[in-house]
Chains A and B, each alone.
Chain A
Amino acid sequence: MEVSDEVLVQRSRQGDAQAFKELVNRHEGKVAGVVQSMLGDTQETQDVGQEVFVRFYQALDQFKGQSAVSTYLIRIAINLSLNELKRRKKRNMLFAKEEEGVNTSSPDSKNDLKEVIVYELNRLDPDFQSVVTLRLIEGYSTVETAEILGIPLGTVLSRLSRAQKKLKSVLAKHMDL
């Protein structure tokens, strides 16, 4: 029988590294999905991914289990990704010309639709991006999305609607919409 997250958290608190490792293995995929959707597949993605679990480890004593471990981790992942996007934006403003060709360039192969989608997703406003990531990519309900982001449900619905309109208009160039 699989050991529950709560038991693993309890063991991790007592310094059981193996238990914490198991928690990381268990939730890596979901966290990676969110961080990669938000930041694309870059070096920072790895760093943010590690930081998510480090922060979780540091907050183990404060984790009361009111929300699921995965929800808690996704919340950290979204917040750290948004911070990273802000840093990236500042960097891009400072070194606009040098960075142009690095992360913000359009994908070479228009045939890889997934790449195009990730590229266009990353060009959305971060607030819209987080809603699309949680609702459309990770499949959380709108209520759960609102809870994770700490915003009202109405805001989630309006951001989702506007983000989809924007995405559809830019993706129409690459697919038959």
Chain B
Amino acid sequence: MKHEKIEDLFLKSLEENISDAERKELSGAMEADEQLAKDMSGYLIMREEVRRKRPATFGPYFASRVVAKIQNMKVEIDKQIMFFFRRYQLAALGVLVALLTINIVFSDQLNLPSVLGLNDDNTADEELVSFDFYNHFNE
């Protein structure tokens, strides 16, 4: 139990300031028990070993690979957008053909401008003839 308490105190001392009383308790316990002191110094050795590391790298040309991936990703997104709209292309074409067909069926004249709705509008203000309902129905 005491070993565990001292162990906790020792690990705490490695991370933060401990009080004078705690420091005294820790050093007293370690002076009194050689094995305990050895155990605690084991933590220091372990931390030193864990900290000692090889320089880390993702290998040569890593930055170039990242930039290439980002650029490819943009192309991929563009493709996805194209694919998204492609799904609606057939439906849009169908609607267009249907509208043209309706226009052809119901048009008075069968020429290209009228079918495509490109005829001049003959209802300009100056061409409108006034219509007098009163006179018309009383004639």
Q: Which range contains the number of B residues in contact with the other chain? A: 20 to 34
Partner of B45 from the list A46, A49, A175 (CB cut-off 8 Å) is: A175
Which one of B15, B45, B58, B70 contacts A54 once the chains associate, using CB atoms below 8 Å? Answer: B70
Give Cα A132 to B43, complex, Å. Answer: 13
Interface contact A28-B63, CB-CB below 8 Å: yes
Interface string of B19-49 (1 = CB under 8 A from A): 0000000000000000000010011011101
Q: B128 at the A/B interface (Cβ < 8 Å)?
A: no
Within the assembled complex, what's the spacing in Å between the Cα atoms of A45 and B8?
34
B43 contacts across to A, CB distance below 8 A = 164, 168, 177
Does chain B have a CB within 8 A of A151?
A: no
> Is there contact, CB below 8 Å, between A113 and B49?
yes
Q: Which residues of B contact A161 (CB under 8 A)?
A: 8, 11-12
A28 to B50, Cβ gap below 8 A?
no
Q: Are B69 and A54 in contact (CB under 8 A)?
A: yes
- CB <8 Å contact, A36 and B56: yes
A150 to B120, CA, bound (A): 70
- Interchain CB contact under 8 A, B64 and A21: yes
Which residues of B lie under 8 Å from residue A50 when comparing CB positions? 58, 62, 65-66, 69
Contacts of A93 in B (CB 8 A): none
**A8: CB under 8 A from chain B?**
no
Give the complex CA separation of A171 and B12 in angstroms. 20
B-to-A contact residues, CB < 8 Å: 7-8, 11-12, 15-16, 39, 42-43, 45-47, 49-59, 62-67, 69-71, 73
Across the A-B interface, the 3 shortest Cβ-Cβ residue pairs? A177-B42, A32-B56, A33-B56
